[in-house]
A and B are shown apart, each in its own frame.
Chain A
Amino acid sequence: MDSLKALIKRYQLGSLLLLTLLLAVVLPLTLDIFRLNLVGKYLCYAFVAVGLVMVWGYGGVLSLGQGVFFGLGGYAMAMFLKLEASDPESTKIQSTPGIPDFMDWNQITSLPAFWVPFKSLPLALLAVVLVPMALAWLISFAMFKRRVGGVYFAIITQAVALICTVLIIGQQGYTGGVNGMTDLKTLLGWDTRTDSAKYILYFVCVALLIGSIVLCRWIQTSKLGTLLLAMRDKEDRVRFSGYDVSNFKVFTFCLAAGLSGIGGAMFALQVGFMSPSFVGIVPSIEMVIFAAVGGRMSLVGAVYGTLLVNAGKTLFSESFPDLWLFLMAGLFIGVTMAFPMGLAGLWDEKIRPWWKRSRMERQADAARVAAAHAAYPEALPPREGKKPAADLPEGMSGQGA
């Protein structure tokens, strides 16, 4: 029993169970399918936030370009879906049937070479995870081996985000340009736009998210997690202890990239399109804010942060569109100045100690009363509302005088 308790505490399974209940039971029962689809969209961003907790909270590396990996995974899935939606019968009216519409109106007559592997689902699924990881490895290996960190690395990631955005928008024939890949209808013949499909995709998304949180928590509780924390705080000491710091940083960066890629793929499936507006600098910085609001050290907190910020964005842009950017500005400034550890930090530093303290005070009070009872058993008056013992004659309420 104790080992089970220890396992639960180590893996923070309590908060994970609460999150699973919320996502898998409470939300599907209380929201209609439209809002649930929106929540599914937010959960795709939560993948990126969970990755950022590993890279930023535990690794100490701020990456302002996670949108690139989100986009790469999303585009990999979108390319497969687009090829499926561009089979020769539905594209009869094009001048070249069998290729996506944006290629047709850019006067491209045959499928480019790098599109061909995406005709098969297993290759596309592999690409969803491996292509972002490969790019992440390329960038981080060169940077971390040269001990570039901190602000310089963050700016390089921004530059990479800008490069990818300009590349995708500029090559409209190959990538769909600024409109992105739209009209993604079916996955292996299964229509993804029906309500039942949306429910299934939502639950798949929740399952994958909970799985990635468990994976990250497993990494955090291992020796690697301790090393990451040590590297974040005192990199030189870890280096002098004999560890190759850059390899660990590369590992976490690639892990975050892979998770973001999965988020992007689920996004393409749930929302039905993919565009370069999710790849650039602005969405990448917003993803950092999701992780920061929830708590950069807390995996579960990152999910809550994502849901909260995105829900706020939707609600505010519906009712008070002018106010939303002021609130975002306030969030950014508040997260850096007032609550750097996010909501999870507030929970850990303020609410739980307050709860513990008030519980300890109540326990101390009860202990004091019990001690007084034990010291003076006869001298205490009977308490209000206490039932008299059954063997006492009526009129008497207790043994005391």
Chain B
Amino acid sequence: MAYYFPVAIVLGFGVAFALGWLMEWALIRHLYSRPLDTLLATWGVSLGLQQCFRTFINPKEVSPTLPEWLMGSWTPMEGVDIPINGLFVLGLTAVVTVGVLIALHKSRWGLRVRATVANRTMANATGIDTRKTDRLTFAIGCGIAGVAGAAFTTIGSTGPTSGQLYIVDSFLVVTFGGAASLLGTVVSAFGIAQTQSISEFFMTGSMAKVLTLSLIVLILMMRPQGLFASKVRR
């Protein structure tokens, strides 16, 4: 009974992976030359998924019970209380990030992805099926999002519209860090989250969020390619 959570995380990855594979095959591969239409089409898919959750699962927001090993907090010293739940999410994120990094640089899939990104035509010419690579990459990305969703159930309540809270933030994290850079994503996610948490000491939560977002937008206005931009000519 206590092991349902890791099983749920693996299942979350699996289901999101499968759905991402299907969506790429059915929808996204027709829209590669039209990124703006991709935004609209994927928004439509998200609306459909929300209604599926409402109709077939439960329209109410629920807060699932944590397993016992995630409850409580760790007290390294007097007065410092770190929730074990937060440590688990931190550890999970680290494992996933390191896993993606290793896969990108050591696995055959990673090789194919890097080749496709660097020069699609030559990658095709050397026999790499770029379409399959695209599909697999998209599905892996969706699977990782599924893992994030499974982890988020420990933090906030879960309902049909829970994913909407993270749309703008995740886009901004990726854009701010530089779209093609994994290190940039890590740095920008850390930076943005820390800015918001620290600002919350000095002002209300909503003003902290406004300040953080405004800072990001301002910095993006001055440096639109993000922090760690790839030095590739486009």
Which A residues are within 8 Å of any B CB, using their own CB? Answer: 62, 64, 142-143, 146-148, 150-152, 154-156, 158-160, 162-163, 166-167, 169-171, 281-282, 285, 288-289, 292, 322, 325-326, 328-333, 335-337, 340
Contact = CB atoms under 8 A, between A and B. Distances in A.
B30 A143 contact: no
A247 B40 CA distance: 27
B39 interface: yes
Contact of B51 (A150, A162, A329): A329
A155 B168 contact: yes
Contacts of A285: 40, 43
Nearest to A169: B206
Given A170-B210, A285-B43, A337-B30, A325 B172 contact: no
A177 to B, nearest CB: 10
Contact of A159 (B45, B48, B216): B216
Contacts of B40: 285, 288-289, 292, 332, 335-336
Contact size class for B? 35 or more
Given A159-B216, A163-B210, A328-B44, A336 B204 contact: no
Nearest to A158: B168
Nearest to A285: B43
B171 A158 contact: yes
B41 A159 contact: no
A331 B221 contact: no
B175 A152 contact: yes
Nearest to A322: B55
Contact of A281 (B48, B167, B205): B167
A281 B207 CA distance: 18
Contacts of B50: 325
A332 B168 contact: no
A292 B44 CA distance: 13
B36 interface: yes
**Closest 4 A/B residue pairs (Cβ):** A332-B44, A170-B206, A329-B48, A325-B51
Given A288-B40, A329-B48, A330-B44, A159 B172 contact: yes
Given A163-B210, A166-B210, A332-B40, 14 more contacts: A64-B39, A150-B36, A156-B221, A159-B172, A162-B168, A162-B213, A167-B210, A170-B204, A281-B164, A285-B40, A326-B51, A329-B47, A336-B37, A337-B30
A160 B214 CA distance: 8
Contacts of A171: 206
Interface in B154-212: 164, 167-168, 171-172, 175, 204-207, 209-210
A170 B31 CA distance: 38
A150 B37 CA distance: 10
A166 B220 contact: no
A169 B210 CA distance: 11
Nearest to B207: A170
B152 to A, nearest CB: 18
Contacts of A337: 27, 30-31, 41
B217 interface: yes
Given A155-B175, A156-B217, A158-B167, A325 B48 contact: yes
B35 interface: yes
A281 B36 contact: no
Pick the most buried of B27, B40, B171: most chain A CB atoms within 10 A of its CB: B40
Nearest to B161: A282
Contacts of A62: 36, 39
A337 B39 CA distance: 12
16 contacts: A151-B36, A155-B172, A158-B171, A159-B217, A162-B213, A166-B206, A281-B164, A282-B164, A289-B40, A322-B51, A325-B50, A325-B51, A328-B44, A328-B47, A332-B40, A332-B41
